[in-house]
Structure 1
């Protein structure tokens, strides 16, 4: 094995360790929401704010991450974010409501860095294997999200750790990732001044309709994901399922997403247009929510599985759009920052809105109606984001969106 191959292999292992930390601290929250409410007396609206706070942190920091990484280098930026994540996980588990929210905000800021920079690193260091590497990265992230969901109640009640201990234990995973990343600082790459500019005029993604399609597609699929991990266990419990079983349904949701997370980027990279994939993802969400609304154990299992498959495919497709709709690493980083900034502001609405709707109506009917409307919007956005085109520089005399048809996609 050559030195370069060995270095790239070690780098990708480090990337996977970051991926393991990007969802597990969040998905472990949903199954213990009931325990938190009982222990703290917080309302559903306030509990929904916990997930919303994480997403707001994503949205605020995401557009700033590319500039920070240009100054510090991607490697050092990720190491700092892992340290902040470790602190956030610890603080969130301290015995006070203030610590619960402060720790959540800190881990949200830290995870935002990884969300933006991991897809950028894949495009930079594995340019000929973007689809495969994105698939592995997405699958690994969803695997640990599933593990965190499934173990939340057993850790809290079976192992007598309580909900605070069940959330704090994921700090161990962060420490492992932090230790693994420290040697990567030897290979730190800091772009020279001006080297991030592509040839030709600089692209203003905020004036690109194609970039907005990708951004909103990212936002709506994130909306579904965070609503699911926050409230799906409570919805299933309200339909008669035990708390532990509802937690394992969250495990199922994440587990079935793994094949879709892995295969979708590989397939997407081979297609000129990804519109058919986007349509199938929207259909999966829609049918899944219909089956959940109908109730019953079998329909709930099938519906949860469809939602999980659609969620895995939707996320990895959104991440692929950062590479497929741009030409350079810097454009990809800026697209990632823009999509995750605006996208997570959209996603942030979901958990708190659903908690508020439930508090006001004492039922989940209105929330289902909201989900169906979002599925229809998602299908339209997928049609726009999936077109065979690159974002390009907008003419100075016009603020109109521009996109060009690529000769090929990578």
Structure 2
């Protein structure tokens, strides 16, 4: 009877772990996005300029780049389960700190959140590779990336109403409820894994001996993937930051309508995130990158050539950006032959990619100021999408040649 119960729990584990991954993902973008709907109230209350207040949303992205070596080292030392719990606990502590004082305290809380989320960014591919069958890696990765956008959308929609009722400090702190729920579920999942898998939890991975290309900085494929991810993320943050302004100035939309365009762009990412894994099971990764990159190009080129069709470009571009991050993560998991390699590759690709991405809003804005219009900035975004397309296809070809 005990054996039967153990087997039953073992069969249920992938589903329970999927729920845990979803709860984790809900907390990996929401704490950053929560600032945007109440940024005006924060500026008024703390007496901040627009540029200074913007640090509360840009600092976490910079942490994604600079803190990845720390994140990788932590995961290697603590293991994936503890790393996830440390990530969630760090986001919780940062969320509580951020709302307690003036600007300096808010910056400290924001940095804690950014570093903790970086750990989460890096550890997810390790968890997915280790705990899910190869046939489900794509769909689990898609669910994860889709949930990132769902978390961002949920926080964007609900923070402002909460602030009207409770004030901005309570509103950005209220999301700690999701963090507590995720910590409880992950603690439960870790306990299940230890009790059901027993020795396999603590036994060393027989494939952990690093392969010849496990040092990611020595791998040409890793560099190509990092550049592809950087092109994807640069495009995403550049468009996300400036799309409402572009539509306001070029199309004459009011602030409310222009802001709605950003919501369409974010929501449609769910389609790409869930659709790409289905395609990845049928097509070669290079073909999926080609499709995603082509759809991505429609966004900046469409805004250049036919801005009046912005709803169409927001739909197409939104689906493409959700698919872009998903296919890069799928390639990382597929090419990794050990948990150690998955961790190192994830850290290297995301660290370098987010470093490039953190410059996106500033570069696009600077080009706009220098040129006095939006043609040149949209050409910059087009070039960054081409980086995703060219380097992503090249990296995919190298992976396919090694893993036919």
| TM-score of the pair, normalised by structure 1 | 0.84
Shift of 1:376: 2.4
| TM-score of the pair, normalised by structure 2 | 0.85
Q: Could you say if the C-alpha distance between residues 242 and 32 of structure 1 is closer, same or farther in structure 2, counting changes exceeding 3 Å?
A: farther
**For residues 261 and 38 of structure 2, what CA distance do their matches in structure 1 show?**
13
> Is the Cα contact below 8 Å between 2:232 and 2:321 reproduced in 1?
yes
> Is the Cα contact below 8 Å between 1:48 and 1:351 reproduced in 2?
no
Correspondences of 1:142-181 after superposition (within 5 Å) = 142-156=149-163, 159-161=164-166, 163-181=168-186
**For residues 8 and 322 of structure 1, what CA distance do their matches in structure 2 show?**
21
Match of 1:222 in 2: 233
- Give deviations 1:363-410, integer Å, cap 9, x for gaps: 5454323212212222211221221527xxxxxxxxxxxxxx2353xx
Deviates more, 1:34-43 or 1:233-242: 34-43
Name the structure with the higher helix share: 2
- Give deviations 1:10-45, integer Å, cap 9, x for gaps: 222111100111122223444555555566564554
**For residues 371 and 55 of structure 2, what CA distance do their matches in structure 1 show?**
18
Match of 2:197 in 1: none
Find the partner of 1:252 among 256, 264, 269: 264
Match of 1:115 in 2: 121
Q: Could you say if the C-alpha distance between residues 249 and 58 of structure 1 is closer, same or farther in structure 2, counting changes exceeding 3 Å?
A: same
Find the partner of 1:275 among 278, 283, 286: 286
Shift of 1:252: 1.6
Q: Could you say if the C-alpha distance between residues 305 and 376 of structure 1 is closer, same or farther in structure 2, counting changes exceeding 3 Å?
A: same
In structure 1, stretches of 5+ residues that fail to align are 391-404
Aligned residue for 2:73, secondary structure, equals helix
Match of 1:8 in 2: 14
Q: Give the number of aligned pairs.
A: 390
**For residues 26 and 117 of structure 1, what CA distance do their matches in structure 2 show?**
19
Structure of greater relative contact order (alpha carbons < 8 Å, 6+ residues apart):
1
Shift of 1:151: 3.4
Shift of 1:165: 4.5
Find the partner of 2:95 among 65, 70, 89: 89
**For residues 378 and 303 of structure 1, what CA distance do their matches in structure 2 show?**
18
Q: Could you say if the C-alpha distance between residues 102 and 244 of structure 1 is closer, same or farther in structure 2, counting changes exceeding 3 Å?
A: farther
2:88 is equivalent to residue 78 of structure 1: no
Aligned residue for 2:380, secondary structure, equals helix
Find the partner of 1:309 among 304, 313, 319: 319
Match of 2:147 in 1: 140
CA-based RMSD of the aligned residues comes to: 2.9
- Give deviations 1:185-221, integer Å, cap 9, x for gaps: 4246865678563376463221111111111111221
> Is the Cα contact below 8 Å between 2:365 and 2:377 reproduced in 1?
no
Correspondences of 1:190-201 after superposition (within 5 Å) = 197-198=208-209, 201=212
Deviates more, 1:229-238 or 1:217-226: 229-238
> Is the Cα contact below 8 Å between 1:218 and 1:340 reproduced in 2?
yes
Aligned residue for 1:270, secondary structure, equals coil
